[in-house]
Amino acid sequence: MLSVERIHSYYGKAHILNDLSFEVRRGEVVALLGRNGAGKSTTMKSVMQLVRPKQGQVVFQGENLIGQPAFRVAKDGIGYVPEDRRIFTDLTVIENLEVGRQPRRQDAPHWTVEQLFEIFPNLSERRANRGKHMSGGEQQMLTIARTLMGNPSLLLLDEPSEGIAPVIVEQMAATILKLKAEGLTVMISEQNLHFARAVADRAIIIEGGEKKFDGSFKELEAHPEIRDAYLSV
């Protein structure tokens, strides 16, 4: 579904992603793992074209995304939830969801507000509340639900477990598994190996913008030296 091929991305002269390649297949949940500063967010931004790779290809459903504006990438079916999870604080939950509405896509699960309230019961209870009165975890759920209103084929979640209370982290894991069960393809970036293992089928580990591992969690468990070298556990 998504094929990232030998990309090199920079901030000014700083060379951040170095010859990075990976694939995301339809229906899977993939975890992009690595320490702080490894390049996970830059990878997601490079897929969205918010950072423009200077070399390489990003091919989504057969189309090369390089050079497209980010809004076009979103319209093509990649939903992106950045780390800073912005919501419209003066709008209610329902209004926030409506902002994200886009036409349905044939190859992707279709979401209605009521279906999203089944998956995110906390949002349902607070549907008339304004965003600013919600906790960090609820805001995080709202950004994901709003992105799903765009009916994406692929969802990119940048560090979904970061900065939220442990009980909400568990809800977040359950939510991602529900989205997978609905047939959604998901890529998450994570520092939390435990969380990643609970939700993902496969792990890709990066360090210094280079890929160091790509395989199942079982394979990763068989190589504790890889975990120790590239992840903080």
Ligand X SMILES: Nc1ncnc2c1ncn2[C@@H]1O[C@H](COP(=O)(O)OP(=O)(O)OP(=O)(O)O)[C@@H](O)[C@H]1O
State the SS3 of 94-161.
HHHHHHCCCCCCCCCCCCCHHHHHHHCHHHHHCCCCEHHHCCHHHHHHHHHHHHHCCCCCEEEEECCC
Residue of 20, 40, 53, 144 interacting with ligand X (CB under 6 A): 40
Q: Measure the CA–CA gap between 96 and 173, rounded to whole angstroms.
A: 22
Are 94 and 116 contacting, i.e. CB atoms less than 8 angstroms apart? no
Residue of 7, 41, 79, 138 interacting with ligand X (CB under 6 A): 41
Residue of 2, 20, 24, 34 interacting with ligand X (CB under 6 A): 34
Q: Does 38 bind ligand X (CB under 6 A)?
A: yes
Question: Closest CB to ligand X among 120 and 213?
Answer: 213
**DSSP-assigned letters across all residues of 44-58:** HHHHHTSS--SEEEE
The angle that helices 136-148 and 166-181 make with each other, rounded to 10 degrees, is 10
Smallest distance from the beta carbon of 103 to ligand X, in angstroms?
A: 31
Query: Which of the ranges 30-38, 55-63, 90-98, 170-178 carries the binding residues for ligand X, by CB under 6 A?
Result: 30-38
Q: Does 146 bind ligand X (CB under 6 A)?
A: no
Q: Does 37 bind ligand X (CB under 6 A)?
A: yes
Smallest distance from the beta carbon of 36 to ligand X, in angstroms?
A: 4
Residues that bind ligand X (CB under 6 A): 11, 14, 16, 34, 36-42
